[in-house]
Amino acid sequence: MLRSLILSSALALSALPALARENYALLIGASQYRNLDERYWLKGPANDVALVQTWLTTASPVPFPPDHVTVLADGVDGAGEPTLDAIRKAFADLVAEVSPGDFVYLHFSGHGTQAPAQNPEAELDGLDELFLPIDIGPWSDEVGSVQNALIDDEIGELIDSIRAKGADVWAVFDSCHSGTVTRGAPSGDEEVRTRQLPPEALGLDMVEAPATRGLEDPRAQPEAPVDAGEDSPEQGRLVAFFAAQTTEVTPEKNLPKGKPGRMPQGVFTWTLFQVLSEYPQATYRQIGQEVLRKYATTSIARTTPMFEGDLDAVAFSGDSGPRIAQWPATLQDGSFALPAGTLHGLKEGERLAVLASAADPTEAALGYAEVQAADTFTATAVPVAVDGKSLPPELPKGLVLRRVSAELDFSLTVALPKAGTAPADELLAATDALTQSAGPRITFVPAGEEADLRLAVIPESPRPDAIWVLPATGLADDLTSTPSVGTADKDGETLAATLADTLNHMAKALNLLKLGEGLGGEGLDVDVAMQTRTPEDRKLRPLSTDAVPRLVPEDEVHVLATNHMDIPVDINVLYIGADYSITHWAAERLQPGDTLKKGLFKISDSVLGQERMVVVLSPAAPQSPVENLAFLAQDALELTRGTASNLDLALREAGFGETTRGAIALDDGEEDAGPAPVILQLDVRTVPAN
């Protein structure tokens, strides 16, 4: 059920006690490939490994003793080198060490690539996926492989050797293996690179690679580089997370956003550990869904992570628990020190309630504090007076600081294109008109500065005269689904107005998704399941949540919802298309005990790509009008263009309402206002029907 995707404070799953269990980790980060030209080196893997090592040994919900964490990464003090032999030895050491019931976390950050399969019959596409240690050499015709590469089949065998000892394994791969990408705009981060090594860098002619055997069912999920396999009582369980599908690339860039000391990090690693820091005791399925939501709302990457294995288990084989929104604090020289920072979602200027204990209600706050500074793992907050209330001079020991409200940033920062081409120069000459047309929520910065979106001219693209709108990395992958505005038929003022309209159109869709960050799945006991059926099979079946489900034109989508509460609940269903359209499909009231069964729409073939369903649940007063969010609907963006409730107000602001504030609170400060609204989201990918 869709409701189960949301990270709730009432997680139903619990793990068995593991009193004698030991936790181990092997962290591999390959950056400087000694036999490759330096232009192929990476900078992020060492930072990924350092981040994961610190998190596991200081913040993990289960204990990872430092001597149980093995690090193989060039650029990390005290770490071993991530060579092929060292990796094999580290796995052998783990196999000798672990016992039944133990847990092992594996992390791979570095380059990936593909090569003709050593066993073509075992690979649907005739290709092996490779993880590349730092001592790789070129392709060898004699052995039929890249020298010293770690082939997907061997990775599977190494993992299975640990599982055969009865230990559970979670393997995370922040690398990619194929796909194409164009560097369309300067990002300001020279370290923005993709973790996919082109085969030609290894002397490999992929033209000779075996062809894919047969045509896949277009709805079938792509094959994972490492198969999680079937669990058995004799071996431990495996969960595997992959940064991208094998046809996509995944980037690294300077993170976190807005911090002067930010460092190159794998986008997938950073996002994953952001989620783990906020929801350390969630299920793997919930973690994966939250990673997808963060990708959708930040435009930081346009890849589709993959998740395999027993996704309903709690992460790290631990116990289920709530989202963490409070932290112990110590008072030092008039300020509070917190063991949480930007990785946990804390931002400078955020307000926190100061409580005597973790069990106290927020209304019992002794006073308030404001975050003054935050780095990755720590933050400092200073006392502030709120509504005339200040902290007492004497404070008890064991203080807890709790986040009291979520503020969502509905502004958008857009980097202008680099000067030097006719289309870019024409737009830059019309910057004043662009700023005026875009409105107060969109800020324009020079090319290369930090931004949410980037404007670029791509001379080698199908539209060399156009201004393209790219993600924060400045990397362009699928230009068929990337918005652009032509310049050949427009003067400067018309170009500015058209581009401003495009950006506002995109922002409205992005901001609707952002609301899911502040309105989670807590408080409303309503089951919601999205269902589908095909023209060939008219039986309704649930949309899979193991991975992003694939739908083809003419597939139908239905909703099934049941209200288990003793109050009415309104349900609105919206659909955000790959073309930034917003379609409103339902506004219904569920009385206590009611069930809604409703066919919503068919997939069309006009625009295909990554899309998202949004279900908004809002408590309703008896005899009140049904809350109808049809006002959020908007037409598709032409990709190649030459009295309201609190929720209603927030949604109108997400659609760029009248106020000019860059962030608004999701609550109005009222206490005992009843259950809060809930927003549920589910990604789908629409693909051709073959």
Backbone φ and ψ for 429, nearest 5 degrees, come out as -70, -20
Q: Residue 360's CB: how many other CB atoms inside 10 A?
A: 16
Residue 639, domain CATH: 2.60.40.10
Same domain? 306 vs 381: no
* Structure-block tokens of residue 673: 């206002």
Checking if the pLDDT of 671 tops 60, the result is no
Q: What is the pLDDT of residues 306-329, one digit of tens each?
A: 899 999 999 998 888 877 789 999
Backbone φ and ψ for 422, nearest 5 degrees, come out as -60, -45
Each residue of 522-560: b (16+ CB within 10 Å) or e?
ebbebebbbbbeeeeeeeeeebebebbbbbbbebbbbbb
Same domain? 449 vs 375: no
- Whole-number pLDDT of residue 15: 38
- Whole-number pLDDT of residue 440: 92
- Is residue 494 within a helix (H) or strand (E), and if so which, with residue range? helix 492-518
Mean pLDDT throughout 258-272? 87
Is 675 within a domain? yes
Same domain? 52 vs 146: yes
Is 7 within a domain? no
- Domain end (from 317, 346, 374): 317
Same domain? 398 vs 498: no
Q: What is the pLDDT of residues 515-566, one digit of tens each?
A: 766 665 556 899 999 999 999 999 999 988 777 888 888 999 999 999 999 9
Q: Residue 303: CA atoms inside 13 Å, Cβ hemisphere, count?
A: 33
Same domain? 496 vs 524: no
Is 8 within a domain? no
- Domain end (from 376, 404, 432): 404
One-letter identity of residue 446: P
**Least reliable range by pLDDT among 30-39, 268-277, 519-528:** 519-528
Same domain? 250 vs 394: no
Residue corresponding to tokens 């009865």? 166
Q: Are 72 and 131 in contact (CB under 8 A)?
A: no
What is the C-alpha to C-alpha distance for residues 148 and 139, in angstroms, rounded to an integer? 10
**Least reliable range by pLDDT among 120-129, 193-202, 479-488, 507-516:** 120-129
Same domain? 248 vs 392: no
**Domain span at residue 525?**
516-686
87, 163, 317 from 71: Cα distances, Å? 10, 20, 22
Same domain? 330 vs 313: no
Q: How many domains does the chain divide into?
A: 4
What is the C-alpha to C-alpha distance for residues 617 and 1, in angstroms, rounded to an integer? 14
Residue 466, domain CATH: 3.40.50
Is 6 within a domain? no
Same domain? 267 vs 162: yes
Same domain? 505 vs 645: no
Q: What is the pLDDT of residues 604-652, one digit of tens each?
A: 877 778 888 889 999 998 889 999 999 989 888 877 777 455 566 566 6
Residue 335, domain CATH: 2.40.30
Q: What are the residues facing 469 on neighbouring strands?
A: 455
Residue 134, domain CATH: 3.40.50.1460
What is the C-alpha to C-alpha distance for residues 220 and 607, in angstroms, rounded to an integer? 19
Same domain? 488 vs 524: no
- Whole-number pLDDT of residue 185: 66
- Whole-number pLDDT of residue 301: 66
Q: Residue 246: pLDDT band by 50, 70, 90 thresholds?
A: confident
Q: Residue 14: pLDDT band by 50, 70, 90 thresholds?
A: very low
Is 664 within a domain? yes
Is 426 within a domain? yes
Q: Are 90 and 155 in contact (CB under 8 A)?
A: no
Q: Which residue has the higher pLDDT, 296 or 205?
A: 296
Is 11 within a domain? no
- Is residue 466 within a helix (H) or strand (E), and if so which, with residue range? strand 466-470
Q: What is the pLDDT of residues 159-183, one digit of tens each?
A: 999 999 999 999 999 998 755 556 5
Checking if the pLDDT of 418 tops 70, the result is yes
- Whole-number pLDDT of residue 230: 62
Same domain? 302 vs 432: no
- Domain end (from 454, 482, 510): 510
Q: Minimal CA–CA distance to 317: which of 676, 22, 622?
A: 22
Q: Residue 359: CA atoms inside 13 Å, Cβ hemisphere, count?
A: 0
Is 449 within a domain? yes
* Structure-block tokens of residue 645: 């409730």
